[in-house]
Amino acid sequence: MQAKAYAKINLCLDVVNKRADGYHDLKTVMQTVDLYDSLTFQIKESKEKKIKLTSNHPGLPLDCRNLVCRAAELFMKLTGICLDIEVHIQKRIPVAAGLGGGSSDAGCTLRVLNRWAGEPLDWAYLSVESKAIGADVPFAVYGGTALVEGIGEQVFPIPKKENIGLVLVCPRISVSTKSVFQRYVLDDPMEEKVLVVAEALKKGDIRLLGQNLFNKLERVTIKDYPLIGEIKNMLMNAGAFGAVMSGSGPSVFGVFPDLDEARKAEQNIAYRLGRSVRTFCIKTVEGVIYEQ
């Protein structure tokens, strides 16, 4: 069985407060895009639990540091089904880039195992329980477009009128999410702007969406990596309605009027920045698509 694990972007990201446990409550609109890892599964029931991971990515951990392993463990714990699982992860989503690649792989694993077993678990229940794996996994179980709150465990799907053309630019650097949050200084919440982003998606108003993109973590990451600011300017000069960093960075994306404009911009930026970045012309996608 094969499946696609789609990357996510944050169309807006508001840091609401810092919790007593050290984590931060967020309010963000997440969106899956058609940049994806391909996961190939071999699954069978077994008397003895076994999880084997392989990957084309030489730096990817293949033990239970990998969220795919933790997702398989969680599924077996929740269902009581003992499985022998082999998963090959064909990695395309850049690692440590603010695109939720590891969480996407975990969410994909949960969906595939649940589907293989005849859907013994309700999707909402599976999403809530998956917060034990990582903050972005509850959203990754659903995919599509959603308002996400808390530390990521509260997911509220948003109906979106149309797919959106984007240019994604990923500098070849890794950013520590933990370090970014440790250095973040709280300010006033921007709940109204989050609601504007959600409303723009419902209306299909891409210009309004672009004008209201924001990410409060950007100001922390950009101090270490000024290239992020340069990429934002390049995207805007290339015709984007708006451009912003995703997650804790360093990836930056721009919202364009259509895919043709996005392709032109992506080619121009790829030429100008060369091998210092990876560039993608992508579009938003709705939910999960399985490939047999």
Opening angle at CA 108, ends 68 and 248, nearest 5 = 75
Alpha helices per DSSP H over the chain: 67-79, 101-116, 123-129, 137-142, 177-183, 191-203, 206-211, 218-224, 227-237, 259-273
Which one of the listed residues 14, 37, 105, 136 is annotated catalytic? 136
| CB neighbour burial string for 50-60, b if at least 16 within 10 angstroms, e if fewer | ebebebeeeeb
> Is 8 an active-site residue?
yes
In whole angstroms, give the CA distance from residue 246 to residue 200. Answer: 18
Which one of the listed residues 8, 27, 131, 216 is annotated catalytic? 8
Query: Which amino acid does the sequence have at 114?
Result: N
**DSSP state for residue 131 in the 8-state scheme:** G
**DSSP state for residue 275 in the 8-state scheme:** G
The pair phi, psi for residue 111, each rounded to 5°, is -65, -45
Angle of helix 67-79 versus helix 101-116 axis, rounded to 10: 30
> Is 21 an active-site residue?
no
Query: What residues are labeled active site?
Result: 8, 136
